[in-house]
Structure 1
Amino acid sequence: MTGEGLKRALVERARALGFDTVRVTRPDAMPLAPERLAAWLAQGFQGSMDWMADTADRRADPRILWPQVQSVILLGLNYGPTTDPLAALALKDRASISVYARNRDYHDVIKGKLKEAAGLLAVRGGSDVKVFVDTAPVMEKPLAEASGLGWQGKHTVVVSREFGNWLFLGAIFTTADLPVDEPETDHCGSCRRCLDVCPTNAFPAPYQLDARRCISYLTIEHKGHIAEEFRAPIGNRIFGCDDCLAVCPWNKFAQAGREARLMQREDLAAVPLSELARLDDADFRIRFAGTPIKRAGRDRFLRNVLIAIGNSGDPALAADAVAHLDDSSPLVRAMAVWASARLLTPGEITALRDARQARETDDDVLREWSRISPSHAARESAP
């Protein structure tokens, strides 16, 4: 089978499997990637994601990852929301969960489909294949731009003229020599909505992301305590952040009336914070089975929920924060202290401090208690 025929068959198979867009590029189609990645890492923008630096050479050049690769196929699956993903931000007593996390874990969904699509190349073309879904050092976004699937916007996320900001990406590396598609050009123009909407100023410049300030990084990847300067801006975002994606004007051009192939779970939209705060480890695992949220673990998740409770301004939620002051996890206890101080009266939080501070053994939790004084509590509790 010719390369052209093999590509046509692949596209047909991929669409039958549910992929909405398929493009092909060469492994050497992103010559600026090594320089840009090195500059990003040199500034420490990766935060605690040490694997970014550890795999920089393979990440910047697919041929180092797999020397035999001849063609790189980028596939996109539409997960666009059917309702405004930012609507939950106004509901302070409820949780805002990123759209992508309200589905089955996309790694599981896409990898099986990629393997089926790649199998066609092996059977009909006799080609070797490898599939990747954000689990190996592959720079899917610049490859997607090189393939014409979309372009990297000023917020560094891939934007598609057909699907806006809502595409899960997967990649197939193959030894097959397939016809390539034309690269996409940047269509952001002078727009900077995605940069200006960021609550934590995570974009030091257009096309640059400082992950250390990004709410998605802080609530998902970051394993430790979240710095105080970011807690109030996080609001009620307990897992991820859709702000920069949702405000992009290109979303309105996402195929009108076409529903996403992956529909969001309704039970994960605007969930009451009090309900989430009361999950023990077993309940957490059951509630979020099959979703990306489960991978964060109960302690990190409760850390995020307590920050949201502290930002709610609702004294009725104070009891849920106080209930975690004796939690087994210091990560949870520390944020229970912070949230309690935001919601209780000065007298109430001072009494709790006096009762618990002497028996606390964790330095980070003690540090949270030490910040509390009657004047601090009154200031933090103010609307």
Structure 2
Amino acid sequence: MSGSSRPRPMVKPLSLLAALAAALATATVGRSGHELPVYPSYYPHEIAIETIPPEGAAPLLLENKIQAYLGPQPRFSDNVPVSIRAVESLGSFVIVLRNPAAPAPTDAASACAAVETIVGDIAGKQGFVFHPYPITPLHGDYLYYADLAEAAKARFLRAHARTSAAPANLRVKVGGALQHLIRPEWIAQGLEWDVAVEEVDAADLVASSMTSVNGWLGPPWMKAGWFHAERMLADAIEDGETRARANAMLGRLEASDYRDAVERINLQRDLVTTLTSSCRKLVVGYTIKRQYLSVEFSDGIENIGFDSIEGLNSPMFIRTVKLKNFPWNGWLMLGIDKAPNAAWNPIAGFNDSFGRLLWSAVGDPALVPAPYDSGWMLNRLSDVQSNSGR
């Protein structure tokens, strides 16, 4: 830790000594005027993580005092310069929830009317992507559900087109970040509400399932779309028989109780269809998260890998990022918006944003989440098949 009042852990990989030893061992191979054909390592030998509020991140990025900011969009006073780039990942799910404490409607049509009204009305609004299905194009397994997602979108748009007039007495509870999606006359002014519009942070949904024990980061399905749908929607199933059917399908998927990939995919599709059969809680869209980094030459970074859901706060970013100013090693300076508030140990801690970033730097699991897929990839080895014909 430095003398700054803000948390700023210094991470120094243990491989540094090995890298230096390798460099010394191979130094005699080099010829005058030529660099070594293989660098010992391009990992930074020091990584500083500093808590910085969004309003303070922009000047630090512009001055190359940090190479990346892993919080919300910094507040640039002018147009973002070409030396600053953004990467996009899944931000949050937008959910419409019927009040579970409200009196039960007399029929299914009345129960779903208010929710369907909200879904149809926000379909054309800006600031989010209308997508009334819990698995998004940013999920690595989206192609398994693309037809179901398009059918759901068409169904809600047809229902909205049939609606002659929106009810004037609808009461909607909504947070500040989503208020632009709701008509001002619908926003609930008191404690009583009919429908709520909420956000579920996608990265937090993944992080809540992560573990850091024995070189393993989480269950095999940690990034799968069906798993995220179950985490968000299972608690809203009202019918006991439907809940039992969903639990049975979930148990089979977690136990790998299927014959082949075809049966597995059909089981996943059936589970998501069951989870979305109720209008108590619906995923109606998602937001895009943009995180900024410096690509300035020569103090910026390059070779950036990031996760389609977790963005830059992922093992893939730390695994791939390279400093432009050094052939290898160097000082990587990162900013994050939230101070650490979890225990700093791999068993009971490292489960907040700051801790996850720190553990991505010091942990060394055998497998890491594939950045654009729902599966995993080997961390340091590659399963390369030999070509005996060569």
> Quick check: TM above 0.5?
no
When you count helix as a share of all residues, which structure comes out higher?
Answer: 1
Normalised by the size of structure 2, how large is the TM-score?
A: 0.24
When you count strand as a share of all residues, which structure comes out higher?
Answer: 2
Structure with greater contact order relative to length (CA < 8 Å, sep ≥ 6): 2
